Amino acid sequence: MNREIYVTPKQYRIIALLVEKREISIDELAKELSTKREDLMRDLAELEHKGLLRVERYRVPEHVLTDTGKRYIEKGLPEEQVYSFVDKCCGVPVDLFLKCVEEYGVLSSDAYIGLQYLVKSSCLGVDNGKLYVKNRAFCVDVINKAREIRQLVLDLVSGKKISEDIISLARRRQIIETREKSLFKVTVVSSLLEAWHAGLIKEKELITIVKPEIALELDKYLIKEFDLTVELPNIPISKKHPFMQFIDELREIMVSMGFEEVKGPHVEAEFWNFDVLFQAQDHPAREIHDTFYLKTTLTAQVDPTLLEVAKRVHEKGWGYTWSPARALRLVLRSQTTAVSARALSERGGGEYRVFTIDRNFRPESLDAKHSMEFYQLDGVIVGKNVTFKHLLYFFKEFTAALGLREIWFKPGYFPFTEPSVEGYVKHPKLGWIEVFPGGMFRPEVMEMLGCSGYKAAAWGIG
């Protein structure tokens, strides 16, 4: 190599340090140059491309504290925590001793483990079913050993070397976990040494834009060239809307809680949207759902047996002449409970949980709480022993999964559930919003769906 090589001032400092040390880790190099390691990667890549150095990647084990380990470092190992309250809690049966220790703030799992270590070391003993201090000297030994382990673990995670026995012990006690850490080292190559000693390495200021005022002095600068061989990054042409991401999150929560998703049509029969839910055709309750009716002569197809059962239940329960023709008219689905009803009719009695999350349509006035088209999360829990308490518990677990804290319930009314409930959550700007209407499907509904003898907790969140 007998031609001059131009590098930036920063790259020149890298080369000078590398020539001196011959080999250096990137972390050490960054420290020597008072910069961040990530700020060196581009310069190292350019120098490696010029054949002046070699960057090598290697892996080393790294020991880090687990969540349990962090708790032990802060509060002490379980035996230390438990021993702190021995004098206050001893002299009682084991279960009462553990309860006493827990009342002082020790986790139940830590209390149990700590007691095991203290008994195993003969610090504590059991006589006539009651705990007592067996040997104070042994207690001191086990506590000193615990403190020593804590200090050695701190030394380990800070990078110091300790014995493999202590490392194995810390792993067994779930104080640490070992991961692989990727490191990089930079090695000098012979061509760089030759060029350096021959005085061929020169530094110039790097510029990326040639301005008119320096056009006559370009020899003073190192001009960064465009690399047209570099592939352009892929730019996503679209991404999912935040609301749809939220819908997916709801779906994942329901599946994680053991529910199976079911689907239904947007254009629905009045039978599934109203009648099978025991909403009388001539009752004012039918007006609860303002509905989009289809202007068409087409009608739905429903099993005649289901129509016969619905006619008998409606006429017996409401005392009017039920019209199958009206039940077969088509509407835009106004509630996803129609999908739940279809699912129960198809599956019949049994023990299962299903949900659906999809669009509904109502002629609403658009505001912060209402829309003509909206999503609803509807579901049912079916079984012989399902109760209203199961429904309330589901609401609480579901809101907890969403990170909601302020929630309250009040009695509600819906034509197809009894008892019924309305659940509210607190919005920071809109105030209390009803989002959890639900209840237990009435026996009449379960009969029309072919699930007599079973109970169903149902809801329509929207």
- Picking from 15-24, 293-302, 351-360, 390-399, which range would have the lowest pLDDT averaged per residue? 15-24
Domain residue limits, the chain = 5-63+181-223, 67-172, 246-461
Specify the pLDDT at position 1. 53
Does the pTM surpass 0.85? The reply is no
Which residues, other chains included, contact 194 with Cβ-Cβ below 8 Å and sequence gap of 6+?
1
For residue 146, give the amino acid letter.
A
Cα dihedral 48, 52, 55, 56, rounded to 10, equals 130
Helical segments of 22-66, H only: 26-32, 41-49
Beta pairing partners, 268: 331
Task: Kindly report, residue by residue over 83-127, the tens digit of the pLDDT.
Answer: 999 999 989 998 899 999 999 998 988 998 999 999 999 999 988
Helical segments of 9-122, H only: 9-21, 26-32, 41-49, 67-75, 78-83, 86-89, 94-103, 108-120
Specify the pLDDT at position 289. 55
Mean pLDDT to the nearest integer, 309-337: 92
d(CA 264, CA 343): 9
Mean pLDDT to the nearest integer, 22-30: 86
**Domain covering 246-461 assigned CATH 3.30.930.10 in the classification:** yes
357 has pLDDT over 90 = yes
d(CA 246, CA 13): 51
Band of pLDDT at residue 190, cut at 50, 70 and 90 = confident
Specify the pLDDT at position 286. 59
CA angle, 180 as apex, 178 and 184 as ends, to 5°? 145
Give the tokens for residue 288. Answer: 């609860």
| Number of CB atoms found within 10 A of residue 269's CB | 22
Specify the pLDDT at position 156. 84
22 has pLDDT over 90 = no
Specify the pLDDT at position 61. 83
d(CA 121, CA 114): 11
Task: Kindly report, residue by residue over 282-293, the tens digit of the pLDDT.
Answer: 766 556 557 888
343 has pLDDT over 90 = yes
- H-helix or E-strand spanning residue 380: strand 373-383
Mean pLDDT to the nearest integer, 246-261: 92
Task: Kindly report, residue by residue over 197-251, the tens digit of the pLDDT.
Answer: 888 888 877 766 677 776 677 777 777 777 777 777 787 777 889 899 999 999 9
165 has pLDDT over 70 = yes
Which residues, other chains included, contact 277 with Cβ-Cβ below 8 Å and sequence gap of 6+?
337, 338, 341, 415, 416, 445
CATH class of the 67-172 domain in this structure: mainly alpha
Task: Kindly report, residue by residue over 45-65, the tens digit of the pLDDT.
Answer: 888 888 888 888 888 888 888
CATH code, residues 5-63+181-223 = 1.10.10.10
Band of pLDDT at residue 189, cut at 50, 70 and 90 = confident
- The answer to whether 373 and 360 are in contact (CB under 8 A) is yes
- H-helix or E-strand spanning residue 133: strand 130-133
CA angle, 424 as apex, 412 and 461 as ends, to 5°? 80
- Identical fold for domains 5-63+181-223 and 67-172, yes or no, is yes
Specify the pLDDT at position 178. 85
Mean pLDDT to the nearest integer, 451-459: 93
- Looking at every residue in the chain, the average pLDDT score rounds to 87
